[in-house]
Amino acid sequence: MSTQPEVPQHPSTEKSQRVQQSQEQFSSRQPHEQHPMKEHPSSKQPHEQPHKLQHEPKLQQSNIESKSQMQSQIQTERKTHGHQVVSDPTIQLFNNLVSKQTHCLLGRTGIKVSRICLGSLNFGKIDSKFGDRPGQLSEQEAHKLLDRFVQLGGNCIDTADFYPWFGSSTGNAETIIGNWLKNQDRDKIFLITKVRMPTDAENVNSGGLSRTHIFNSVNNSLKRLQTNYIDMLVLNGFDPTVNLYETVRHLDDLVEHDKIRYIGVCDFKGWQLQKFIDASKVLNLHKCVCYMGEYNLLTRGCEWEIMDICKNERIGFFAYSPFKYGFLTDEFTSERIEAASKNPSLVAMAESVEDIKRNNPCFENTIDCCKRISKQRNLSVSQIAIMWGLQKGFVTSIVVGCNSVDELEENMNCLTQNLSLTNDEMCELEEASCYRLQYPYNINLSSIAGYREIPQYEACRFEQLSLTTPEKTFEPTKPSQTLHEAKGIYFPEQESLKEPQMREQQRSIS
């Protein structure tokens, strides 16, 4: 009788059998034999126990299912035994800053700046030929303000080469800051200065964004500030007389020579800002990281174009003049409008009260709404204005000018005490301060509301509030019907979906 030859097994089958045998041998071992390099805890002597903290409570391993439960049990038993854990003060300070959101990333730079930036327009006395401007601080008063600002967690300081004003007082603000900065830890301060305004009345080339003026202004600012570099140089306005590509190259040279670290712009129009950003992209040079503009409850023009550019290009936004020259403070009332208009320096340098009221039809409603909310919350009007700006998603930091340490502490309380407005309060302020957009900014607002999630306090800018408010939600009539089609919003993509249906109908007819 012939025997059938043995069929050789597949290599993978042999490998699986070897793995199964090794697993059976491993499972048959005793617990102390599974890891020959490590001894079983039960075989250790008492003197070989691992080192533990004094008064450390003993834990029952059988009652602990995970690492998180172990940590929670340790903290609970430490509290019952009176054992207090002392954490690193540096880590504790960092956690406090993060929890209170006192700092914010500046665009895509990775740099964190305080959400309130200290302005220095009132540092130093101005030239007498420009008149007396109340609220100007001496060097000693400014140094006290700077010290307190840093103590409260601020690290961002804004100035300019012509501050506090033109004439013989040009550059006094930078000199005051420089005398204070030389005694500080330079790496902890984010210093901003500006260039464009004329700084020398006898020099016809002083001013603008030419290569000569930019380099001279930066060198003079470095001397007055007594530092080796400027954290961010801001172009204080657009200069149509200079080739934009040359300006971008000049700024890039300053970055390469480590005289400035970052580039920003101020008071640019929407098309100017986008053109400036595109020029740096085309030349592959250092790009703009920040826009600085006037933004408050009475001036919201940046929402028309600048806001979208900042979001799309992911650059920071610094809002200056949050109090609109004193209108959004407790000191201003409707009864003082006539008196303030006779002395514009009390509230503004260039705009009179009549001009502001004429340009903003929501002037009185906005002020009344701020005062009403401030009384309900027992807060100042300036705090309401700051909180409104901080809760706008695209705002990185708010530039605040203070006349005293008390005013600074009041404004910084919005961060240190983690104050915020409710959703209803934001809606009230939006409705009171927002006026209807004009062409072409009012086009396709309903379509924007259809495909983008908008906070409730932003919804009042759109005509169809029922599309965004959570109380009124639209339910499509058909399951296959999209939300955009149900709302009657036209999208070109819908035509491509309807083409196959139309072709089938034509075939059936033919």
- Predicted pLDDT at 477: 34
* SS3 label, residue 115: coil
End-to-end CA distance of the chain: 78
- Predicted pLDDT at 306: 96
- Predicted pLDDT at 320: 97
What is the separation of C-alpha 317 from the centre of its chain, rounded to a whole number of angstroms? 7
Q: Provide CB contacts within 8 A for 32, sequence distance 6+.
A: 39, 40, 42, 43
Spatial distance between the Cα atoms of 86 and 93, rounded to a whole number of angstroms: 13
Spatial distance between the Cα atoms of 149 and 400, rounded to a whole number of angstroms: 11
The structure tokens listed for 183 are 């005694």
- Predicted pLDDT at 39: 46
* SS3 label, residue 394: coil
Say if residues 249 and 285 touch (Cβ distance below 8 Å): yes
Global confidence as pTM: 0.69
- Predicted pLDDT at 443: 74
The domains of the chain, with CATH numbers, are 93-420 (3.20.20.100), 445-500 (no CATH)
The structure tokens listed for 115 are 């959400």
Spatial distance between the Cα atoms of 228 and 186, rounded to a whole number of angstroms: 10
- Predicted pLDDT at 126: 82
- Predicted pLDDT at 168: 74
**Mean pLDDT per 10-residue section of the chain, whose length is 510 residues:** 51 57 56 46 45 44 47 47 43 44 93 97 81 82 98 97 85 96 97 95 92 96 98 98 96 97 98 98 97 96 94 97 90 62 51 73 91 96 96 95 96 93 94 83 61 52 38 34 35 41 51
Q: In 138-259, at which residue ranges do the beta strands (DSSP E only) sit?
A: 156-158, 190-195, 230-236
- Predicted pLDDT at 131: 63
Q: What is the CA radius of gyration of the chain?
A: 33
Residue 437 DSSP class: P
- Predicted pLDDT at 180: 98
Work out the burial of residue 227: count CB atoms within 10 Å of its CB; fewer than 13 is exposed, 13-18 middle, 19 or more buried: middle
How many helices (DSSP H) and strands (DSSP E) are in the chain?
18, 10
DSSP run (H or E) holding 487: none
Work out the burial of residue 399: count CB atoms within 10 Å of its CB; fewer than 13 is exposed, 13-18 middle, 19 or more buried: buried
* SS3 label, residue 37: coil
